Amino acid sequence: MLGYKLEYLAQLMAWGSFALFVRTLYPQEMNRWACWAILLFCSGYGMFVGLTHPHIFSYTMLFFQFVIITSFFYLIYVFISAVINRRRGAAFHILGFSVLSVALMFDILFYNQVVSGQPLLYYGMFFYIFMQALHLSVLFAESYTRIEDLSGQLRLLNTNLDEKVKSRTRELREKNEDLNHMQTLRSQLLMNISHELGTPLTSIRGYVKGMLDGVFPRGDDKYMQLVYDKTLLLDHFIGDLHDLSKLENRQLSFIFQDENICLFLQHLYEEYEPEISKSGRTFIYNDALNDEYAVAQIDTIRMEQVFSNILSNARKHTPKNGAITVKLEKEKANAVISIIDSGDGIEEDMIPFIFDRFYQSTSSNGFGIGLAICKEIIEQHNGAIGVQSELGVGSRFYFKLPLQ
């Protein structure tokens, strides 16, 4: 009798647990109250089986079988809804549960002596468990593939991270080197400014002191002219510093106008030719455009400032009896103006810094701020400036201006 009761109780516990299992898998498809109804039935009927004699609860077998069959059909509906909603593993569940349902229906008919044969419920349960095992295998395979993909992505991210760290480290090192270089140039700038300001001030102080001490005649025109020239030099230097600051901050206004480059450069050559020739240097003009119509938008005053600065630099480094050539040519859509000298030339390692606003050549006698001004002016004309040089042969300073 006890074994008979335990058999029924085991079936009820299994059925209630299975209902909870399906509810856990598909909470959106299985109604909560339907799950509670199955659990209440299993609990209530289990108490009835446990408290009554087998002769009593055996008369309720048809009712028990009806409830089980009804709940089976409801669970089939749940699995079909899960398949329609593309829930994970729903196809395995409905296939296995369908076979289990057919086996259960056959066993009910068999025990009610409607059909003959042998019980199939155990085969149905085995098939359902087999489908669950197959489902788990698919899940494990997908998880393994996913883990492999994530591992590959992680390796790729680590590689990219290493490369990014190396790249950032390299950039940081380059920035530090640039900062160190700029700091060196700033220190050099302060020394050069002190030198440029100190030299004429020392001369002025010497002349004035000499006049006060009676070494030089007071009011002598010669020494007064020397003092005046030194003040002009100071004024010119301070003006250059002021112009460079305004250029870098885009505070200096430009008046652009269409200008024929050939005529403009010819005019500049004729203006500066007497002064260069008087200094004992040959001054040559070479117009390779051959009167070709070439117009560019320029600020004539600022462009003459560029020409004058570069020409002054060439004159300073070209010995007497040397030659300075101004050449005009065309390169694609640009007019190229070159000023070529036969002077000392520039050290190769110094060429990249020649237009730097802090640059001071070791061979220069003065502060090289004029080239930095030239660079700023040309850039505001949307042009480019450069230099080619060879020690002992000479230098070629050139700038390009876009033509209309």
* Mean pLDDT, the chain, whole residue set: 82
One domain, residues 130 and 270: no
Q: How confident is the model over 120-146, as pLDDT tens digits?
A: 878 888 888 888 888 888 888 888 888
Domain at 369, CATH number: 3.30.565.10
Bridging pattern class, strands 394-402 and 384-390: antiparallel
Axis crossing angle, helix 221-248 with helix 121-213, rounded to the nearest 10: 170
- Express as a percent the part of the chain with pLDDT over 70: 90
DSSP code of residue 220: -
Please indicate, yes or no, whether residues 130 and 263 belong to a single structural domain of this protein: no
**Domain coverage including residue 29:** 1-149
The pLDDT of residue 365: 47
How many domains is the chain built from? 2
What average pLDDT score do residues 214-236 get?
75
265 part of a folded domain: yes
Q: At 231, which helix (H) or strand (E)?
A: helix 221-248
Q: Where are the beta strands (DSSP E) in 317-393?
A: 323-331, 334-341, 384-390
Distance between CA atoms of residues 202 and 208, nearest Å: 10
Give me the residue label for tokens 């007071």: 218
- pLDDT value of position 366: 43
Residue 367's pLDDT band, with cuts at 50, 70 and 90, is very low
Reduced to 3 states (helix: H, G, I; strand: E, B; else coil), residue 287 is strand
Mean pLDDT of the region 210-235? 76
- Which helix (H) or strand (E) segment is 257 a member of? strand 257-260
Asked if residue 389 belongs to a domain, the reply is yes
For 336-345, what is each residue's pLDDT tens digit? 999 999 988 8
Q: Is residue 184 over pLDDT 80?
A: no
